[in-house]
Structure 1
């Protein structure tokens, strides 16, 4: 009989209730300051990271190999036969490679490792959907086949509060970013499917207009199919609540979920003031 474990990493943005309900194993990133190293989601919160960015912008490192090893040892002891691991894009982190290396040392546990080519809410929604299928008793092979199709139906867009943190984190070109801040350009950002890296969908001048466009972009999906919308933010809950209210006015949106703070590891690069909406076709 199959016993399937569900793994992700702390870049995954979904509510704690979902993680607990489906017994998701979360591999934590490290948040690194000059004086101390923290474990993402364990001894530092996203809000603390955003507040601390006023004085110091931390760096980060992927989940430790020993943490992945300990997790697989635990799964082996608990007689798991299969693993589905939904992870941050290999285009921005080596986490996928780390899990691949450790899982290869446990051939008795069959592992399906999925590179989301994305992160944050997309990662979280895929984890949630896999958890639902596991709970229903769907077989491992069927779930594995379904995941790529599930990914095609999830679409995420961000607006940064400022381009400063993306520039310092090396996520966008320095010159275009500097000019963008001077001209008050607020680009709509997403992830490309080929390399799993950030790219600019549209360049909008001004925060209000950029948020309006963020909401409008979902209409191309809701015009064809019903969608659920997931809203995340970088320490700007008031903006996120307003976005939720406006999304609920769209008859093509079935449910609106305010997930809350963007994870600390993603927040290191997008910074405070960021808002994001993920549209999941149902």
Structure 2
């Protein structure tokens, strides 16, 4: 196994932590953000705060990169001497990236590409890349890695709170989350991805404070189903960062068996669909 060269390909919507990207030499497929006046590359020539400032004037659209870009990245990996690739993307129920990677992988000869549909989003998807890297570094064989990643889909979950459902609704990403009653009664949903990788409401609470607390409670409950876990918190907007700092400390106090803890803003491409005010907590249940 040590003689096999395994590369990593992830999409920018997976919000893989920077240290993991560097440690695994992972290539990132950049999602696109499209305004009336031009196209921007996620995390490259547009940053989160710029996006939120511009939301007051225009809500842009997002798109995956063209197939040729992905194919070129796979060919670069092949040229670097790799024979196998682990490709990790956000849910196929939220983006066409997963399917595009699959299609392009079929066009590159002599490269074994395993494409994981995480059924997840943001750092919830990124934690699968964390696990993939740990498996490769542990020297596991290719078939075992693929099976463990597939079996691990249900062991990673993100719960998130958004201050308003306006952006999810306008971006067509509302999924199974109902917005009408919530707007009338100030009910704040705690949102996650279901088994099909579609947004759904886990629970509701009246008002922001209770909604955030429910998000914390749901995450702790999921983490406590395992003896060890990785934890990641994410946010959208500078105002939200003040809250997430406190949440991060709460999670560390309430969950004593954390292996690794990650903390970052969400990518601009995801921010298009949530707007500022998102608070997310992802848990990766680890084996004993």
Shorter-chain TM band:
over 0.9
In structure 2, the CA distance between the partners of 1:33 and 1:140, relative to structure 1 (3 Å rule), is same
Q: TM-score, normalised by structure 2?
A: 0.92
How do residues 183-198 of structure 1 correspond to structure 2 at under 5 angstroms?
Answer: 183-193=185-195, 195-198=196-199
8 A Cα contact 1:158 1:188, kept in partner: yes
1:238 matched to 2:235? no
Match for residue 128 of structure 1? 130
The Cα shift of 1:161 comes to: 1.5
| SS of 1:228 mapped into structure 2 | strand
TM-score, scaled relative to structure 1: 0.93
The equivalent of 1:31 in structure 2 is: 33
| 1:227–1:252 Cα contact (<8 Å) kept | no
Q: Note the alpha carbon deviations across 1:104-158, whole angstroms, 9 max, x for none.
A: 1123001111111111112111101111222233222221111023222212101
Q: Tell me how far 1:252 sits from its aligned partner.
A: 4.2
Tell me, in whole angstroms, the C-alpha distance in 1 between the residues paired with 2:162 and 2:175.
15
Distance 1:210 1:255, change over 3 A: farther
The 1:251/1:111 distance shift into structure 2, 3 A limit, reads closer
Aligned to 2:91: 89
CA pair 192-80 structure 1, distance change in 2 beyond 3 A = same
> Matched residues in 2 for 1:167 and 1:75: separation?
38
Distance, in Å, in 1 between the alignment partners of 2:144 and 2:150 is: 11
- Quick check: 216-225 or 41-50, which moved more? 216-225
CA distance in 1, matches of 2:154, 2:137: 22
Q: Cα distance, 1:173 vs. partner? A: 7.2
State whether residues 240 and 275 of structure 1, in contact with CA within 8 Å, keep that contact through their aligned partners in structure 2: yes
Distance 1:175 1:40 in 2: 26
Runs of 4+ in 1 over 6 A off after TM superposition: none
CA displacement at 1:159 relative to structure 2: 0.4
Aligned counterpart in structure 2 of residue 22 of structure 1, from 5, 21, 24: 24
Shift of 1:251: 4.2
Give the aligned partner of residue 284 of structure 2.
280
Matching residue of 1:102: 104
What RMSD over aligned residues (CA atoms) do the two structures have, in Å? 1.9
User: Hey, what's the Cα distance between the residues in 2 that align with 1:248 and 1:98?
Assistant: 38
Gaps of 5+ in 2: none
Residue aligning to 1:78: 80
Deviation at 1:75, TM superposition (A): 1.4
Instruction: Say if 2:124 and 2:282, in contact at 8 Å, map to a contact too.
Output: yes
Q: Distance in 2 between matches of 1:171 and 1:125?
A: 22
- 1:1-282 correspondence to structure 2 within 5 Å: 1-172=3-174, 176-193=178-195, 195-225=196-226, 226-235=228-237, 236-255=240-259, 257-282=261-286
User: 2:40 and 2:250 mapped to 1: Cα distance?
Assistant: 36
Residues 257/85 of structure 1: CA separation in 2 closer, same or farther (3 Å cut): same
Structure 2 CA distance, aligned partners of 1:47 and 1:64? 26
CA separation of 1:240 and 1:79: change in aligned 2, threshold 3 A: same
Structure 1 stretches lacking a partner, 5+ long = none
